[in-house]
Amino acid sequence: LESIIFLVGVISDFKDPSYVSSLPIPIILALILSRVVGCIFFQGTKKMKVEHFMRFCAVFLMFIAAGFFSQSMHKWQELDAFGAWSPLSARAWHNQKVFDASDCCNDKTNRFFVLMRALLGWQDQPTPIEFFAYAIYWVIAISFGVVMVRRAKKAIGAKLERMRAEMGAAKDKQQEEPAVAAKTSEDAATAEPADSNSNGGSSNEPASAAV
């Protein structure tokens, strides 16, 4: 699904239809190479700590999502959602470019920055709205992440406390069982002489009666 989204983002920048016809070969090669690289990666990272890998992947995906969000604002600008987009002289301040890096980092002709645009939402002529969108995304994402981490810590802490209480109760029960068994044995041992005495007394009564 992510590969399809990236390809759609790249294809939308192609002006010449002839480029589209050449896509099947690199797509097939990418699928094959991804399997090979995936096998090599998993075989080579068996001793790697999973939590570090998952953190890196989570942060990387957050950067990709931030780029998508910023790029979506650019598309809305092109649709005049935030005021006139064309002609250039009719643009409001929030639709004006902040800087122009198209000479060295063109996101339509430079292959590396075409990839960066598809992955991270790079724009060679960003506008204030795109900067605001990028900043707002990170504020929301970090705030949401902090809230979720705190909730997870509380839930884990409560679960640990419950497990400790259960383990403590089980340990107390195990300690009580030998004491109960010992007390039962003592009561049984005390009861046996009493039963013997009572039986002895009852057997002597008929003899005395006969005398």
Express each pLDDT in 86-125 by its tens digit.
777 777 877 778 777 777 888 777 778 888 887 888 888 8
Position 158, amino acid: A
Q: Is the peptide bond before 87 cis (omega within 30 degrees of 0)?
A: yes
> Residue 187: pLDDT above 70?
no
Q: Is 83 helix (H, G, I), strand (E, B) or coil?
A: strand
Q: pLDDT tens digit string along 60-86?
A: 888 888 888 888 888 888 887 777 777
Cβ atoms within 10 A of the Cβ of 100, count?
10
Q: Give yes or no for residue 206 having a pLDDT over 50.
A: no
Q: Per the structure block, which two tokens stand in for 54?
A: 């998952």
State pTM to two decimals.
0.56
**Amino acid, res. 161:** E
8-state DSSP, 81: B
Contacts of 123 (CB under 8 A, 6+ apart): 70, 71, 74, 107, 117, 130
What pLDDT sits at residue 211? 38
CA dist 55 and 143 (Å) reads 17
